[in-house]
Structure 1
Amino acid sequence: MRVTRVLSAALLALGLAAGPAVADSSSPSPSASASSDGSAPTQAGTSFRTATEIEQGQSATASGSTGDYLYWSFPADVGRRPTVRASVKLPRTHGSQTWQLDVYDGLRRRQACQYGASTRTAAQDASQVELACVLRTVRGWAEPWADDPLPGTYYLRLTVVDLGASDLGLPVSAEVRVDSKDIGGAAAVDGSLGKPLVPGIAVKSEQGKDGSKTAVLSSFGSHDGWSSGWWSDRWVWTAIGGVLAALAGIGGYALTRGSGRPSRVPPGV
């Protein structure tokens, strides 16, 4: 009976502690929502400086020509695994073409795809080509020599890398979309950046409290709700582990200490 009570208490504590973690992981992230006005970009930049900003969970389109470099940028936060997809609609008549989707972090370091086909060849007269790249989970901190993905601005570059001379300059249309999965405390590290990596030459300026103008590198920022804080569900599971360890100790003590009285009284006592 005592062991049953101990196990029941352990299961109850596990359910109460796991509740907030499940609710937190199922709640949508601000970075994964579409724009409030429902509008989506219909053009792309031609360089890192002019990259068109898009939100996660939002599809963007652009028209161009084979041989053009198309650039977009998006924010990625700690503990999230971004997935980038691109679809290129090709002209009705064309030869074999190879398209490539590259992803760069805030320091303009090319990020390797964990999986997905970021380079594909479209056969002659194919109507479209589909590309995808699943990045590694964004970390909160990394060694200076490492190329781990860090929070901040990420850039997409879509272009054709191999085609016949007769196909150069043909009109194409592209659609890109960025989504991400919240990995949570499994990817947490003991460290964080002072600020997200939002590099580049200033593209606009804003007026400070003292009236002076300061350069702004991007409109992405913590006020947009995408930059996370210190909390992660790793704290919840650490607490669950502590509770289970304590209950296991209590249960073991209850099983081994006995009734506290000798089972048999010696004769003559």
Structure 2
Amino acid sequence: MRSIRKTSALTGSLLVAVTALLTTAGSALADDTPTPSSSSSSSDGSDGADGSGGGPTEAGTSFRTATAFRPGQQATADASTGDYLYWVFPVDTGQRATVTAKVTLPDSAARKGSATWQVDVYDGLRRHQPCVYGARTRAVAADADTLELRCTLRTVRAWAEPWSNDPLPGSYYVRLTVVNAQEEDLGLPVRASVGASLSDKGGSVAVGGALAVPLTASAVLADADGDGSDDEPPAAAVASEPEGGWASGWWSDRWIWTAVGGVLGALAGIGGYSLTRPSRVSRRVS
């Protein structure tokens, strides 16, 4: 009986330890994991082009001149039909980004026909990233007033094999343009609005490892457009760093479940042993 009591006491202690581990780990994740709200705006309003905390009011025309914005902001721009519009924003490890774009078209009386618009997203290596959800291309009739596009990317990984096309943490470039329009409609004024939202993922999508440097700087792109000399402009515009900084990459919630699994395995072993071990009383009787 004493053995059973000791086993029950040990089991209870292990259960308390598991509960404490889960509570502590949950608090750590809540404190350390970057959220869309924490990285999407600045309290002093310095991120907005107009100083009001809103998004920028212009767009770049290439990777070099892409306009930076933060997730949660709405970046707007007045442009002409046929222009290539570029923006850039940061995405960190374990986050899944959804890019949305809205185009306000010219008056239908001024347009001659239908048009097809498209939004593309590229990572810090200028690799085109596919959309897992949403409509990145949409055709609109000649009498339409607006159109909306949406592209949800794959979850960003902490690292990837050199041969893979996995999305990595760093800058992500948004390109918006018309891909099919009547020649007479090219040059007509449009107003574009682009935004991005982030959702934190974990569990099955969390992996170990980390990049030495997020794909935001022009180091990997220095020779893409020139000879890399010091007097040349950067190879590409750079997204601003998230307010909480880039993730270190070594931490994953898999550590929690690995520890919990080990403790539960120990509990199962102790419980099974206590149930199958003959008691001292039964051995004395026999």
TM-score, structure 1 length as denominator? 0.84
Aligned to 1:104: 122
- What is the CA–CA distance in structure 2 between the aligned matches of 1:101 and 1:223, rounded to whole Å? 23
1:29 aligns with 2:15: no
Deviations along 1:138-159, one digit per CA (max 9) or x if unpaired, are 1111111111111111100000
Segment drifting more, 35-44 vs 13-22: 13-22
Aligned to 2:59: 44
Deviations along 1:9-30, one digit per CA (max 9) or x if unpaired, are 5654443332244445555626
RMSD of Structure 2 on Structure 1 (CA): 2.9
Aligned to 1:227: 246
Cα 1:84–1:238 shift into 2, 3 Å? same
1:161 aligns with 2:182: no
Segment drifting more, 31-40 vs 95-104: 31-40
User: How high is the sequence identity, in percent, across the aligned residues?
Assistant: 53
Aligned to 1:196: 214
The 3-state SS of whatever aligns with 1:16 is helix
Deviations along 1:33-62, one digit per CA (max 9) or x if unpaired, are 213311320000000000000111211111
User: CA shift at 1:188, angstroms?
Assistant: 2.4
Aligned to 2:135: 117
Aligned to 2:257: 237
- What is the CA–CA distance in structure 1 between the aligned matches of 2:242 and 2:174, rounded to whole Å? 23
1:82 aligns with 2:97: yes
Equivalent residue letter for 2:162: P
Is contact 2:207-2:252 (8 Å) kept?
A: no
The 3-state SS of whatever aligns with 1:262 is helix
Aligned to 1:209: none
Aligned to 2:273: 253
- What is the CA–CA distance in structure 2 between the aligned matches of 1:257 and 1:113, rounded to whole Å? 57
User: CA shift at 1:246, angstroms?
Assistant: 0.9
Larger fraction in strand? 1
Deviations along 1:108-146, one digit per CA (max 9) or x if unpaired, are 010011111101111221111110111111111111111
- What is the CA–CA distance in structure 1 between the aligned matches of 2:26 and 2:237, rounded to whole Å? 33
Is contact 1:33-1:57 (8 Å) kept?
A: yes
Segment drifting more, 222-231 vs 71-80: 222-231
- Aligned mate of 2:190, from 172, 178, 181: 172
- What is the CA–CA distance in structure 2 between the aligned matches of 1:218 and 1:50, rounded to whole Å? 6
Larger fraction in helix? 2
- What is the CA–CA distance in structure 1 between the aligned matches of 2:25 and 2:10, rounded to whole Å? 23
User: CA shift at 1:235, angstroms?
Assistant: 1.2
- What is the CA–CA distance in structure 2 between the aligned matches of 1:169 and 1:158, rounded to whole Å? 15
Is contact 2:68-2:240 (8 Å) kept?
A: no
- What is the CA–CA distance in structure 2 between the aligned matches of 1:233 and 1:132, rounded to whole Å? 29
Aligned residues: 257
Equivalent residue letter for 2:159: W
Cα 1:66–1:137 shift into 2, 3 Å? same
